[in-house]
Amino acid sequence: MPGHGLTPILLCLLPMWRILTPVFSHPQHSRCLLKQRTAVCNNGELTFVPAGLPDNIEELQLNNNLIQTLQDNTLHFPSLKTLSLACNSLKKIESNTFQELKFLESLNLANNNLDAYYQETSQALKTLPRLRVLDLSENYLDEEMVAALLQNLTSLEYLNLSGNLLRRLDETSFGDLWQLKELDLQRNIMFELDGAFKSNHKLQRLNLAFNYLPCLTDFHMTQLVVLNASHNFIEWFISRQDLNDTFQLETLDLTNNKLLFFPFLPSHSHLRHLYLSHNSVKFYEHLVGNDTVLNSTTTVEFYNMKKHMNNVTAELWDDSLHGDISSLEILDLRANQVAYFPQGFIQRMPALSRLQMCTNCLETLNLTSEQLSSSLYELDVSNNRLNQIVADEDTMMAFGNLTYLNLSLNALESLPSGLFSSLPSLRSVDLSYNNIDICLPEEAETSTETMSACVDWTNIVSLRQLYLKGCNLHKIPSSAFAGLSLTHLELSDNPGLIVRGSMQSLSRTLQHLGLGNTHIQDFDFSHFQSLTSLNISRNSLAHLPPSLLNLDLTVLDLRDNKLSTIASGQAQALAPKLHTVFLAGNPFNCCQAEWFTTFKTTKTIHMVGLSDIECEDSLQTTHRLERNAYLCSGEGGESILWYILLILPMCLFFVGVSIIVPLTFKPQMLQKSIKKKCLKPTSY
Ligand SMILES: *[C@@H]1O[C@H](CO)[C@@H](O)[C@H](O)[C@H]1NC(C)=O
Ligand SMILES: *[C@@H]1O[C@H](CO)[C@@H](O)[C@H](O)[C@H]1NC(C)=O
Ligand SMILES: *[C@@H]1O[C@H](CO)[C@@H](O)[C@H](O)[C@H]1NC(C)=O
Ligand SMILES: *[C@@H]1O[C@H](CO)[C@@H](O)[C@H](O)[C@H]1NC(C)=O
Ligand SMILES: *[C@@H]1O[C@H](CO)[C@@H](O)[C@H](O)[C@H]1NC(C)=O
Ligand SMILES: *[C@@H]1O[C@H](CO)[C@@H](O)[C@H](O)[C@H]1NC(C)=O
Ligand SMILES: *[C@@H]1O[C@H](CO)[C@@H](O)[C@H](O)[C@H]1NC(C)=O
Ligand SMILES: *[C@@H]1O[C@H](CO)[C@@H](O)[C@H](O)[C@H]1NC(C)=O
Ligand SMILES: *[C@@H]1O[C@H](CO)[C@@H](O)[C@H](O)[C@H]1NC(C)=O
Ligand SMILES: *[C@@H]1O[C@H](CO)[C@@H](O)[C@H](O)[C@H]1NC(C)=O
Ligand SMILES: *[C@@H]1O[C@H](CO)[C@@H](O)[C@H](O)[C@H]1NC(C)=O
């Protein structure tokens, strides 16, 4: 029998195969990349830890595989410090899996299914005496599972529990994590934190963003440096007022909550960054001592339901209790309801560099009485109801660092004379959507008023960006921008604007020019050699200005004009340079759309709103240009309808001939010619 003959050979091979096993026979090892003492086995379809890896590796990455169980005795790496198993479908870690990893410091188990066998997994974690960094994010864990998993992990310093199913925490949750420095709890469903961080005296960074917390009262974590509680439902933030210790807090993020009051900050702190945007904060100083409005409720008390301990009482309406804001550098109050600042409030922030007040209810701003810090760098009071900005000369001189000033979307009709020219660092001014003109030369010279309804922009040497959209401008004086080195000038939404020679002085420096909705027609762009971005939308232009072609435009907005085509020479000149082009809202001719093909085939162009670009065919029907470009052939610029109308009689003629002729001529030859001449075009 032939089988007998083979057996000795197999037996011979067997010992050799055994020897080679660890190195070659496991196909899965080949998916790993060894780099010094790091083994990278990511993105394979591994279902278990590959065998055959060197024992002395210090880092093992097994992310994005299909490992469901980590079995005992599969990890023999006594020097391993970092193990990463994110994005597997890991359900179970057998309790002795980590037995040999006595030096493991960092373990990433993010995005797995550790909820399934969390008890066994928690046994495994307990065998890691040096674990400092643990990522358990996105594992469907609830508070009970977390408490079990974290038991005895006394060496842990960084813990990530984001994207789990935690609802309420108490002092048992993190009770053993004495060394914890950073804790990420964002994107859970927490609505209660009851003494949860009592044992974590070293905690410095805490992220509670995207939860359902209704309030943070009795805040007393003096060692915390960064607290992020954005995107919750917080109505009250109250720090414990009776503590004399200085809080280490530097960054407090309470954006996107439901605050009605400015937070009750610690009495002593180093708070530098305070983010409060998208709340309903306003100040109530005007109500203090007003008996007709407030009868007796001047305090609000919060009781700790469980133990009646640490009751919190907050004095409402008293705006002097905002806590220590003396180190504040960034105050972000965007999208709130602030109508005024309490007296002395701004003054108490001598280091303030960014005041962001966009979208509030400010009506006047007296820069003199507010005494804004001299290190102010950005002042954004856009989209308020400002009808007055007051500043005396000394005040204006004091803003040596003011660089960004946004006053857009207010109801300003005048400004302190010389406001902008006294700001030596001013780079960017946005005055859009106010009713403020540009001064004529004679107005600028003769004006002695403290308030002026126009601005003299000349010779503000530091200015680079000027936004004057929708300011009701009509005629720009020809010397308006003399002495400026603007790179950005926005004049859009000033219908009927007369620009004339005013912009010649900017031709060397200007990079962006906005002339949308100004009704300009025959502007000569040829001198603007630095221009890279141009907005000439909404101007009823029937042709592309020829002077554009020599520019190196990368962004061009041509929307809502009357363009029927772009001459092929123009398209070819623009295409290699353009990165972004806006074209919707023009009555393009479907049959003169060769430019579209040019743009479409230029891979570097992004045509914004491509599907909104429409064209009309010769029957006045509107098509989406993207879809219908093939209807017309480019060169002739004629509709396919014309071809059909031309070809149809020809076909009919040949068909007629083909019926008549067979009787007299050779039929086969003609059939061939019919096929050639008629049938081809109908293949559309
Ligand atoms: C965990 O800590 C508790 C005390 O907090 C102790 O009794 C227990 O033995 C510890 N378990 C392990 C596995 O170290
Ligand atoms: C925690 O994990 C989430 C999701 O895996 C990640 O987005 C976040 O950056 C991590 N947090 C920290 C502090 O590394
Ligand atoms: C707070 O957390 C949110 C969500 O992760 C993040 O977008 C935001 O930048 C954080 N805030 C700060 C000040 O880091
Ligand atoms: C805080 O300091 C004040 C005055 O220095 C003192 O009267 C008060 O007892 C202190 N409070 C605490 C809780 O130490
Ligand atoms: C009290 O409030 C009423 C109504 O808002 C107002 O008319 C009155 O001037 C206020 N009185 C004081 C002392 O502020
Ligand atoms: C003010 O308080 C008194 C008693 O405390 C009460 O009788 C009265 O109705 C209150 N007035 C208003 C306007 O609430
Ligand atoms: C907190 O308030 C409750 C209810 O008024 C009271 O019984 C309790 O004694 C207060 N606790 C403290 C520590 O003041
Ligand atoms: C602005 O504030 C200054 C200083 O407090 C004051 O003298 C001036 O009258 C105020 N101006 C207006 C218009 O309120
Ligand atoms: C001006 O503002 C910038 C940006 O906030 C800051 O880095 C710089 O220190 C400030 N300079 C002065 C003199 O305050
Ligand atoms: C000024 O504020 C408005 C409204 O908040 C915003 O749309 C605009 O982009 C800002 N201007 C600049 C130059 O940032
Ligand atoms: C160009 O100006 C118009 C009119 O102000 C404006 O609606 C449009 O958004 C601007 N285009 C770009 C790309 O910003």
Instruction: Convert the pLDDT of each residue in 80-106 to its tens digit.
Output: 999 999 999 999 999 999 999 999 999
CA dist 469 and 410 (Å) reads 12
Give the pLDDT of residue 11.
Answer: 37
**Burial readout 652-662 (b: 16 or more C-beta within 10 A, e: otherwise):** eebeeeeeeee
Residue 96 and residue 124 in contact, taking contact as beta carbons nearer than 8 Å: yes
Reference 373, options 387, 390, 354, 386; nearest CA is 354
What pLDDT, in 10s, does the model give residues 324-377?
A: 999 999 999 999 999 999 888 999 999 999 999 999 999 999 999 998 999 999
Residues within a 6 A CB radius of ligand 10 = 358, 382-383, 406, 408-409, 428, 430, 467
| Identity of the amino acid at 336 | N
369 lines ligand 8 (CB under 6 A): yes
Q: In this model, does residue 131 exceed pLDDT 90?
A: yes
Is the pLDDT at 227 greater than 80? The verdict is yes
Nearest residue to 251 (alpha-carbon basis) of 218, 229, 283, 281: 229
Kindly report, residue by residue over 298-324, the tens digit of the pLDDT.
566 655 545 444 555 556 556 556 789
Name all residues whose Cβ lies below 6 A of ligand 9.
353, 375, 377, 401
What does the alpha-carbon distance between residue 43 and residue 59 come to, in Å, rounded to a whole number? 16
Residue 677 Cβ < 6 Å to ligand 1: no
Q: What is the pLDDT of residue 311?
A: 54
Measure the CA–CA gap between 6 and 240, rounded to whole angstroms. 85
Burial class of residue 611, CB neighbours in 10 A (0-12, 13-18, 19+): exposed
Q: How many Å is the maximal CA-CA distance in the chain? A: 120
Of 42-46, 72-76, 112-116, 616-620, minimum mean pLDDT range: 616-620
Residues with CB under 6 A from ligand 6: 295-296
Domain boundaries, the chain: 641-670
CA neighbours closer than 13 Å in the CB half-sphere of residue 151: 13
Minimum mean pLDDT range among 17-21, 43-47, 158-162, 390-394: 17-21
Name the more confident of 657 and 69: 69
* Residue in this structure with the two tokens 């200005």, named with its chain if needed: 545
**Number of the ligand 5 atom closest to the C-alpha atom of 286:** 14
Tell me the CA distances in angstroms from 483 to 109, 422, 487, 571, one per residue in order.
61, 15, 13, 35
Place of tokens 């358990």: 136
pLDDT value at residue 217: 84
Mean pLDDT of 3-23: 38
pLDDT of residue 683: 39
CB 373 within 8 A of CB 395: no
| Cα 387–Cα 261–Cα 370 angle in degrees, nearest 5 | 40
Query: Which ligand 7 atom is at minimum distance from the Cα of 301?
Result: 2
Instruction: Give 458-499 pLDDT, tens digit per residue.
Output: 999 999 999 999 999 999 999 999 999 999 999 999 999 998
Does residue 568's CB lie within 6 angstroms of at least one atom of ligand 3? no
586, 563 contact by CB (below 8 A): yes
For position 15, what pLDDT does the model report? 37
176 or 635: which carries more pLDDT confidence?
Answer: 176
According to the model, what pLDDT value does residue 290 have?
58
Scan for tokens 């003629």, then name that residue.
653
Closest ligand 6 atom number to CA of residue 292: 13
Q: In angstroms, rounded to a whole number, what is the distance separating the alpha carbons of residues 656 and 334? A: 79
Q: Each residue of 15-31: pLDDT tens digit?
A: 333 333 333 334 445 67
State how far the alpha carbon of 344 is from the alpha carbons of 326, 332, 340, 368, 370, in Å: 12, 18, 11, 12, 7
pLDDT of residue 441: 80
Distance 348 CA to ligand 7 centre (A): 34
pLDDT-based confidence at residue 674 (cuts at 50, 70, 90): very low
Helix H or strand E segment including 645: helix 640-660
Residue pair 209/229 in contact (Cβ under 8 Å)? The answer is: yes
Nearest 5 degrees, angle CA 285-CA 289-CA 292? 105
Q: Is 228 in the pocket of ligand 3 (CB under 6 A)?
A: yes
Best mutation site among 135, 166, 185 for ligand 2 pocket (most ligand atoms within 8 Å of CB): 135
> What pLDDT was estimated at residue 238?
87
Please compute, for residue 683, the number of CA atoms within 13 A of its CA located in the half-sphere on the CB side: 7
Q: Is 272 in the pocket of ligand 3 (CB under 6 A)?
A: no
DSSP-based three-state secondary structure for 612: helix
The atom number, within ligand 2, closest to the CA of 158 reads 13
Host H or E run for residue 648: helix 640-660
State the distance from the centre of ligand 6 to the C-alpha of 217, rounded, in angstroms.
28
What is the per-residue pLDDT for 26? Answer: 45
Measured from the Cβ of residue 443, the count of other Cβ atoms closer than 10 Å reads 15
Better-predicted residue by pLDDT, 657 or 597: 597
If phi over 0 gives left and psi between -120 and 50 gives alpha, with beta otherwise, what is residue 158?
A: beta
What pLDDT does 252 receive? Answer: 98
Mutate which of 295, 297, 298 for ligand 6? The one with the most ligand atoms within 8 Å of its CB, which is 295
Instruction: Return mean pLDDT, the chain.
Output: 85
Cα–Cα distance, 381 to 357 (Å, whole number): 5
Mean pLDDT along residues 392-400: 89
Q: How far is CA 541 from CA 201, 467, 536, 562, 593, in A?
A: 68, 23, 9, 5, 17
pLDDT score at 623: 85
| 183 CA to centre of ligand 2 in angstroms | 10
* Confidence (pLDDT) at 642: 55
Query: In the predicted model, is pLDDT for residue 658 greater than 80?
Result: no
Measure the CA–CA gap between 160 and 183, rounded to whole angstroms.
Answer: 6
Euclidean distance between CA atoms 43 and 65, whole angstroms: 6
Q: Quick check: 362 and 388 in contact, CB under 8 A?
A: no
CB of 47 closer than 6 angstroms to any ligand 1 atom: no
- The Cα–Cα gap between 663 and 645 comes to 29
Spell out a b/e string for 93-111, using b for 16 or more CB atoms within 10 Å of the CB, else e: bbbebbebbeebbbbbbbb
3-state helix, strand, coil in the chain (%, to 5): 20, 20, 60
Proportion of the chain above pLDDT 70, given as a percent: 81
Residues across the chain: 684
Q: What pLDDT does residue 489 have?
A: 97
Give me the pLDDT at residue 680, please. 40
Could you identify the residue written with the tokens 């049959």?
A: 591
| pTM (2 d.p.) | 0.84
How do strand 168-170 and strand 354-356 relate by DSSP bridges? unpaired
The DSSP annotation for 323-379 comes to ---TT--EEE--SS----PPTTTGGG-TT--EEE--SS---EEEHHHHT--TT--EE
At residue 302, the pLDDT reads 59
Distances from the Cα of 218 to the Cαs of 66, 248, 312, in angstroms?
45, 16, 6
Question: Smallest Cα–Cα separation from 264: which of 226, 296, 304, 299?
Answer: 299
Dihedral (CA of 205, 243, 195, 124) sign:
positive
Q: Name the phi and psi angles at 617, rounded to 5.
A: -90, -175
pLDDT over 80 at 261, yes or no: yes
Q: Is the pLDDT of residue 633 over 60?
A: no
CB atoms within 10 A of CB 319: 20
pLDDT at 295 > cutoff 80: no
Pocket test for ligand 10, best of 354, 408, 464 (most atoms within 8 A of CB): 408
**What pLDDT shows up at residue 242?**
78
Q: How confident is the model at residue 449 (pLDDT cuts 50, 70, 90)?
A: confident
Q: Which of 70-74, 430-434, 551-555, 638-642 has the lowest mean pLDDT?
A: 638-642
- Crossing angle, helix 118-125 and helix 143-150, to 10 degrees? 30
Token pair in block for residue 299: 């305090």
- Ligand index nearest the alpha carbon of residue 289: 5
Report the atom number in ligand 9 closest to the C-alpha of 354. Answer: 5
Q: What is the DSSP letter of 282?
A: -
Q: How much distance in Å is there from the Cα of 2 to the middle of ligand 10?
A: 87
Res 636 pLDDT > 90: no
Ligand nearest to the CA of 267: 4
* pLDDT over 70 (residue 282): yes
| DSSP, res 225 | S
pLDDT band for position 620 (cuts 50, 70, 90): confident
Query: How far is residue 162's CA from residue 188's CA, in Å, rounded to a whole number?
Result: 6
pLDDT at 315: 61
End-to-end Cα separation, the chain, in angstroms: 69
Q: How far apart are CA 609 and CA 100, in angstroms?
A: 58
What percent of the chain is modeled with pLDDT above 90?
A: 65
Per-residue pLDDT band at 645 (split at 50, 70, 90):
low
Taking CA atoms only, the protein residue closest to ligand 1 atom 13 is: 126
Residue 183, C-beta contacts closer than 8 angstroms, at least 6 positions apart: 159, 161, 174, 197, 200, 203, 205, 206, 207
